[in-house]
């Protein structure tokens, strides 16, 4: 291999890409990382997972100070929102984490290339060629060579043809995380987890929020009891939901937007100042040179790959949002590790059946494994264990006792099929469930395991005991 060539060229420095690059370097590969933006971390770090959670946490603290401190005997006078400072904190968090990733890339001696990466064919010696075009010299791309190329460019928001993004009045999740003022009325099209999280955020900060969804409910792959409980909670918090509905027309006015919403054939006129379109995301494949490289796509526009994540073009691989599966950062990161380990002959795999999902509303929703509806469809024999946070001492002390834990286990063997949590810190509590279900554990295993008292995790133990008809505090 020529001295100026690499064992692996990774295009895209999001969670999947930078994780793959680091793991490849740990395994002794000479790695190049190509990223079109100046900062690493991709959508997740820069305009998705991290900034949204920073603002969600800030908004929860603001709402607690406004509505909940009095119950703790804490009186606050003159409370006010400094949105600019809140946004500055978000930017600082993102910047620190981006610096951390850059340090890891440097520490692992990965060579960075700033620019758009495009597949440019293969050389006679079998090396793949990637053309890197930077903004500084768009007419003269830099050509780099590698034994393998990994595509990890992620995805971008879907735009409505009738309501294109303008970045001001009609926005994607990116702009909705950077408003300079709290909207007076935010209309959200789409009730997926992104829409629910951002609706929760701006609702807590004082915006009127209306969510329009074409389906009869939201989060269709979530356990129905959990989804129904979340809907009741968000409605009590002041978010209005219109299901089986569509936006028939919009008129952008100078200071507002007039929208016609049709629900069950009945038309309603709404006036808002912002519309967030949150109807999904599509793979970021434009400009990669996929067709020229002979890379096949499926009917949804995602790249088709085999068990080793190799595309239809030998030597070119793909992971993350580019391939089938949920659009989740932790999925992409696992695939990033597994794809390079399989390149070195390891029998690594991603346990797709045990990928957790989390919705960071308040209360949070976290799930892993099968839902009750899926078990009924497959006629699997199961038992249910359930425990309410209202009976959990720590949740009561936190004044955050809404929700429950639901465990689904095999009726005869006790093996855990699925765990669904609606309540405080569900995103953290689900980790125990993921471990148990991944290793084929049973409800008895959870029930017999020490859980410190008083902690939120005791709700898992009590739900497991409930499935065995041995609950103590239910």
Catalytic residues: 453
* 257-260: long-range contacts, CB 8 A cutoff, minimum separation 24: 257/169, 257/170, 257/187, 259/187
Q: Which of 236-259 are b and which e, b meaning 16 or more Cβ less than 10 Å from the residue's Cβ?
A: eeebebbbebebeebeeeeebbeb
Q: Which 8-state DSSP code applies to residue 352?
A: G
Phi-psi label, residue 140: left if phi above 0, alpha if psi -120 to 50, beta otherwise: beta
Distance of CA 67 to the CA centre of its chain: 29
Give the pairing type, strands 404-410 and 382-388.
Answer: antiparallel
Which residue reads 């929700």 in tokens? 403
Whether the Cβ atoms of residue 199 and residue 190 lie closer than 8 Å to each other: no
**Burial zone of 57 (CB within 10 Å; 0-12 exposed, 13-18 middle, 19+ buried):** middle
CB atoms inside a 10 Å sphere around CB 413:
12
C-alpha span between 305 and 310 (Å, rounded):
5
C-alpha span between 444 and 401 (Å, rounded):
25
C-alpha span between 310 and 323 (Å, rounded):
11
């Amino acid at each position: 291999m020529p001295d100026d060539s690499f064992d692996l060229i990774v295009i895209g420095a999001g969670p999947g890409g930078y994780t793959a690059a680091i793991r490849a370097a740990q395994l002794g590969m000479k790695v190049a990382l190509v990223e079109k933006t100046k900062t690493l971390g991709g959508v997740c770090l820069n305009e998705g997972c991290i900034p949204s959670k920073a603002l969600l946490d800030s908004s929860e603290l603001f709402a607690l100070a406004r509505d909940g401190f009095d119950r703790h005997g804490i009186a606050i006078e003159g409370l006010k929102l400094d949105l600019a400072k809140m946004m500055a904190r978000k930017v600082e968090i993102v910047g620190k984490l981006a610096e951390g990733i850059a340090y890891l890339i440097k520490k692992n001696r990965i060579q960075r290339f700033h620019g758009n990466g495009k597949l440019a064919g293969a050389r006679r010696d079998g090396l793949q060629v990637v053309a890197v075009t930077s903004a500084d010299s768009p007419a003269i791309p830099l050509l780099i060579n590698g034994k393998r190329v990994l595509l990890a460019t992620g995805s971008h928001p879907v735009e409505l043809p009738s309501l294109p993004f303008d970045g001001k009045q009609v926005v994607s999740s990116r702009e909705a995380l950077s408003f300079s003022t709290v909207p007076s009325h935010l209309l959200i099209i789409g009730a997926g987890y992104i829409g629910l999280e951002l609706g929760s955020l701006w609702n807590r900060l004082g915006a009127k929020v209306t969510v329009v969804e074409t389906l009869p409910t939201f989060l269709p792959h979530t356990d129905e009891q959990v989804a129904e409980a979340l809907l009741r909670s968000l409605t009590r918090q002041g978010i209005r939901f219109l299901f089986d509905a569509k936006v028939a027309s919009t008129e952008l006015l100078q200071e507002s937007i007039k929208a016609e919403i049709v629900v069950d054939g009945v038309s309603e006129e709404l006036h808002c100042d912002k519309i967030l379109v949150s109807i999904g995301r599509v793979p970021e494949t434009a400009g990669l040179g996929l067709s020229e490289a002979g890379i096949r796509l499926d009917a949804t526009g995602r790249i088709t790959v085999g068990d080793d994540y190799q595309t239809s073009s030998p030597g070119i691989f793909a992971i993350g949002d580019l391939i089938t599966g949920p659009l989740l950062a932790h999925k992409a990161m696992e695939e990033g590790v597994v794809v390079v380990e399989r390149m070195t002959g390891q029998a690594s795999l991603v346990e797709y059946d045990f990928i957790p999902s989390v919705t960071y509303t308040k209360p949070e929703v976290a799930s892993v494994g099968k839902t009750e509806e899926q078990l009924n469809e497959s006629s699997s024999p199961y038992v249910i264990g359930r425990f309410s946070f209202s009976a959990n001492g720590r949740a009561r002390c936190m004044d955050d006792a809404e929700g429950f834990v639901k465990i689904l286990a095999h009726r005869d063997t006790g093996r855990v099929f699925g765990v669904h949590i609606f309540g405080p810190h569900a995103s953290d509590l689900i980790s125990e469930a993921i471990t148990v279900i991944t290793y084929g554990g049973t409800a008895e295993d959870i029930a017999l395991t020490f859980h410190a008292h008083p902690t939120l995790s005791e709700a898992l133990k009590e739900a497991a005991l409930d499935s065995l008809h041995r609950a103590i505090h239910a």
